[in-house]
Amino acid sequence: MEEEEVRPKRAMPEIGGSLERMSLAELQAYLEALRAEITRVEAELAKKRRMREAAEALFGRRG
């Protein structure tokens, strides 16, 4: 029975970091992770905007 080679999973690079050493599969996974994070951030922005609009409607606008 052959043992499978176990490779440690590489950490995702920092935003703006070098992508040169990443394989095609790693780049694709990184892109998918970034897209998921963008979706998550957009949802949070929308939530906070709704909360702010509700507060402004209730208390009036400041400033």
Q: Dihedral through CA 5, CA 14, CA 32, CA 21, nearest 10?
A: -50
Distance CA 22, CA 5 (A): 19
User: Which pLDDT tens digit goes with each residue over 3-61?
Assistant: 677 766 777 888 899 999 999 999 999 999 999 999 999 999 999 999 999 999 999 88
Q: pTM (2 decimals)?
A: 0.72
53 alpha carbon, distance to own chain's centre:
25
